[in-house]
Amino acid sequence: MAVIGGVFLVVLGIFVGLGVLVSRAIPSPVEAPRGAPAGVGSAGRAEAAAALRADAVRHASAVAAAVAAGALCVAAQAAWPSLVGLPLLVAPSLMWLAWAAVHAAASLWATRTVHGIQPGPRSARLEVRTARAHGPAWAFVLPALLGALLAAAVLLFGAVSTPDETGRRRQFPRVGISAWTTDDAGFVTELHYGTGAAGPFPGWYYGLPVLAVAALAGVLLLMALRAVAARARPLDPALAGFDDTRRMLEGHLLALVSAAFLALQLALVLLMAFGPLRRAGDRVGFEVGDRIGDAVPDFVTEGPWAVIGAATGWAGALLLLAAVVLGVAALRRLAALARAAAGAGAAAAPAVP
């Protein structure tokens, strides 16, 4: 076990290192705004600083909620081992749900208030602002694509799953050689086939909760994006460009973090399916007429199921790397936003005589 744990830590370190390197190549539509542009009065600077501070607090609260949801999943599995890994598998979707819930609630509240500033007349351009109006196109296509792939994988694996001894559909059926007959000279005269199952497999027992939680998180994400688009313009018309930058960064971060959670969730589903699918290709390494004597032969893995299992495992590993890359890229942008909020707050503070 110590060797396996060491190998896991090494592999995890490699993935994180690659994620840090590759995440630098992910384009950002805008950099975090540094505060109000030059020429804006003290009231405008205070309004910009308050807005950036609210953004930083909202993102920090969402990250804290996601971490708490992940810890809750680990604690639930430790408290109820009979759940056989369900809380751990659904953890990425539950973390995404907690993160999206904070953003949806905060963004909806922000559409009705201006952070710490008294209501007043506003100006706005005649334009249609939709949930996809802020952020690059790829940032919205990627979560949608990953969500569709996750739904397809859950439905496919659920359809082919079989129940275990407790009736929970979490195993993959297989047909293979269960016994063989030999003559007195040790030659195989007959092969006996039987049915069995391998698991744990992401059947309906695992897939339906994952799909339900991910769908709810997706709804909250759309609510947050719509709220960003509907948010009131700043009081100072000179902050229009600053406000556009804020909205663009917000839409980019919402889509980027959602893609990271979805990639992680799909990776875990595929990696769980890897073992049972690959074992479905196991067969004894002999045929009728071969001489095996009294020795128990080794099993070999070959055939189409071996290829399908290997492809599923590689896809899961690549998606795990993609999740790390997207997560690191999002954290770098959140850190830049926090620094921008701190700098804007200092710039907006009144000078002490």
Give 309-320 pLDDT, tens digit per residue: 888 989 999 999
The model carries a pTM of 0.79
Max CA distance (Å), the chain: 105
For residues 256 and 329, what is the distance between their CA atoms, to the nearest angstrom? 8
Helix axes 91-110, 204-230, angle to 10 degrees: 20
**pLDDT for residue 242 is more than 90:** no
Check residue 347 and give its pLDDT.
46
Inform me whether the pLDDT recorded for 215 exceeds 90: yes
Go through the chain and tell me how many residues it has: 353
Domain count, the chain: 1
Q: Which pLDDT belongs to residue 214?
A: 96
For 89-118, what is the mean pLDDT?
Answer: 78
DSSP state of 128: -
Cis amide linkage into residue 200, ω under 30° from 0: yes
- Whether residue 283 is contained in a domain is answered as yes
Kind plus residue range of the DSSP H or E element containing 251: helix 240-279
pLDDT at residue 106, as a whole number: 83
* 89 vs 289 pLDDT, higher one: 89
pLDDT of residue 261: 94
* Residue 228 included in any domain: yes
Model pLDDT, residue 146: 93
Going by pLDDT thresholds of 50, 70 and 90, the confidence category of residue 1 is: very low
pLDDT(275) > 70: yes
Domain membership flag for residue 227: yes
* Domain-embedded: residue 14: yes
Q: State the pLDDT confidence band at 249, using cuts at 50, 70 and 90.
A: confident
User: For residue 316, what are the domain limits?
Assistant: 2-117+129-348
Report the mean per-residue pLDDT for the chain: 75
Domain assignment of residue 123, yes or no: no
**9/166: higher pLDDT:** 166
Buried b (16+ CB within 10 A) or exposed e, 214-235: bebbbebbebbbbbbbebeebb
Q: Note whether residue 86 is domain-resident.
A: yes
pLDDT at 164 over 60: yes
Structural domain contains residue 143: yes
